[in-house]
Amino acid sequence: MKPTTRNSVLITFFTALRVLVGWHFLFEGISKLATPHWTSASYLMESKWLFSGFFHWLIANPGLLKIVDFMNIWGLIFIGLALFLGIFIRISSLSGVALLSLYYIANPPFVISSLASSSHYYFINTNVIEAAVLVLFAIVSKDYFWGFDRLFVDWMERRKEKKFPDNINHEVSESMQRGRRNMIKNLVALPILGGAFFGMAKQVGWLSFEEKNLSKTDANSGATSLVGKRKDLSELKGKVPMGKIKNVEMSRLIPGGNLVSGFAHSRDLIYVSALIKNYFTDEKVIETLWLYEACGINTTVMRCDEQTIRILKKFWSRGGKIQWLAQTYPKENDLSNVQLAIDNGAIGAFVMGNIADKYVFNNQMDFIKNPVDLIKSHGLIAGVGGHSIKVPMACVEHGIEVDFFMKTFHHDKYWSAQPKENRDEFFSLKGDNNLDHNQSHDNLWCASATDTADFFKKCDIPWIAYKVLAAGAIQPEDGIKFAFENGADFTCVGMFDFQVIDNANIVYSTLNSDLKRERKWFG
């Protein structure tokens, strides 16, 4: 290409633009490398468009996720370094386009996501803009860039001139001088890279113990997005251990469904349930279900209603595998709600606790037996829930053959626990103003942990303990350990998405510690 003023301006512009884009890629890669335990899981978790099932499947496979993270980090670094220095410009540009395309597919700007930012403009975001620039780099002649590629071409041409000189004259001398000038231009990125790398190293804390301790860059998995630190799967100690109820393998930690369904035992904070309903959109529930699976949680307890069924079917259609243990609401001889669970993919179902409390209090045991028999007749595991220890006692006494019991269990060593002298498991069922179980179950759900533990010591039916944290009044480390040490085979814990990894780690550590447990494991 003939050197002209116009060409020199274009070369300078394209080279500067290439260096800027290369710097961006390089910084993103280095910042991820410098962030302890960085993973792309949080970014992939947000995927709600094409291939979302595949991206979520990657999250649930730690080995594959590590490969993705490795390729992501080093892909950004190598692409950025190549663009910065002008090495293999066409190949690195096309590689950058491919990487940015994956970022776009995983989280396009027109899909609602918690990662959305000011760089999202419906169909267009900075990933699209940067990819368009890289396409330009790929199709523009390499003559329009200063860099190592051009330096190599110039070197080859000078070598050819030296090997096959037409004549030794001032033209050859001028060519050599021009070659030296071009070499300086082609290497101009090196001092810039040195200064930039120094600043980057200082930014990520490699050159300062103070900065390392006080502030670290936490990069998200997009090439164009930085977010604050959040708990990620790299901090998972291990998958939640499994147990079995009959032929159904279930995680020892089972998330409860009240939070997802918008119900909260929040004492007199009447706005909390509405807040939860607005937080747990369908997509947030699905994201949380993917997080369960990634932690090794394969079963969740959820209410049996149309909202639950709609969300679960959407999740399963995207490749999710989580099992649904349905909380059902039989109304005496009306078992339509139980049948709804059977018809819509539940692996098991149980009679809800306050309903079973009512039937035991009124000595209407057939209204418990009939739904259990219906559930078992369709090959599902069947259970009965209860706040009162009299519920499992009555089931055993009347020969109702359940596959498991759901029984509340927690200690009373928290300040808001109802005083012992005022405790009455059936308070809400007595008198004319009855049937509101919150009257007796809004600050205490297990009237006597001792009586419950003593009963299950003599019972060989699997026990799923729920309300083990007394609706958030007890610390998870305390409540979960207390339940397992005192005989529970599984714990059902209501939790937000940002609590899942912590709770999974607690269960993993607890079950891999020296538990002081007397009861055998059943299930």
Per-residue pLDDT at 180 exceeds 80? no
* pLDDT score of 142: 74
Q: What is the pLDDT at residue 113?
A: 54
124-128, 189-193, 310-314, 420-424: least confidently modelled range: 189-193
Cα distance between residue 94 and residue 99, in whole Å: 9
Burial code (b: 16+ CB inside 10 Å, e: under 16) for 350-374 equals bbbbbbbbbbbbeeebebbbbbbeb
List the single range of 37-41, 197-201, 330-334 with lowest mean pLDDT: 197-201
Greater confidence, 168 or 145?
A: 145
User: Is pLDDT larger for residue 380 or for residue 319?
Assistant: 380
Contact (CB, 8 A) for 267 and 416: yes
Q: Which helix (H) or strand (E) holds 303?
A: strand 299-303
CATH class entry, domain 236-511: alpha beta
Place of tokens 């942990």: 449
Is residue 356 left, alpha or beta, with left meaning phi > 0 and alpha meaning psi from -120 to 50? Answer: alpha
pLDDT band with cut points at 50, 70 and 90 for residue 172:
very low
Q: Which of 354, 375, 350 is nearest to 490 (CA)?
A: 350
Would you say 425 and 447 are in contact if contact means Cβ atoms under 8 Å apart?
Answer: yes
What does the mean pLDDT of the chain come to?
81
Give the pLDDT score at 311: 92
Q: What is the pLDDT of residue 4?
A: 58
Q: How confident is the model at residue 231 (pLDDT cuts 50, 70, 90)?
A: low
Residue extents of the structural domains in the chain: 5-147+187-214, 236-511
243 versus 168: which is more confidently predicted? 243
pLDDT band at 430 (very low <50, low <70, confident <90, very high): low
pLDDT (0 to 100) of residue 400: 97
pLDDT band at 56 (very low <50, low <70, confident <90, very high): confident
Q: What is the pLDDT of residue 418?
A: 78
pLDDT digit string (tens) for 434-480? 444 455 556 788 989 999 999 999 999 999 999 999 988 999 999 99
Q: What is the pLDDT of residues 330-380, one digit of tens each?
A: 999 999 999 999 999 999 999 999 899 999 999 999 999 999 999 999 999
Top-confidence range, 26-40, 201-215, 371-385: 371-385
DSSP structural state of residue 422 = G
| H/E run at residue 384 | strand 381-386
Residue at token pair 């049948």:
339
Predicted confidence band at 282 (pLDDT cuts at 50, 70, 90)? confident
Question: Encoding tokens for residue 145?
Answer: 């860039």
**CA dist., res. 221 & res. 71, Å (int):** 11
Q: What is the pLDDT of residue 210?
A: 39
Q: How many residues does the chain have?
A: 523
Average pLDDT over residues 99-118: 73
**What is the Cα–Cα distance from 89 to 110, expressed in whole angstroms?**
31
pLDDT of residue 5: 58
| pLDDT band at 215; cut points 50, 70, 90 | very low
Q: State the pLDDT confidence band at 221, using cuts at 50, 70 and 90.
A: very low
- β-pair type (490-493, 463-466): parallel
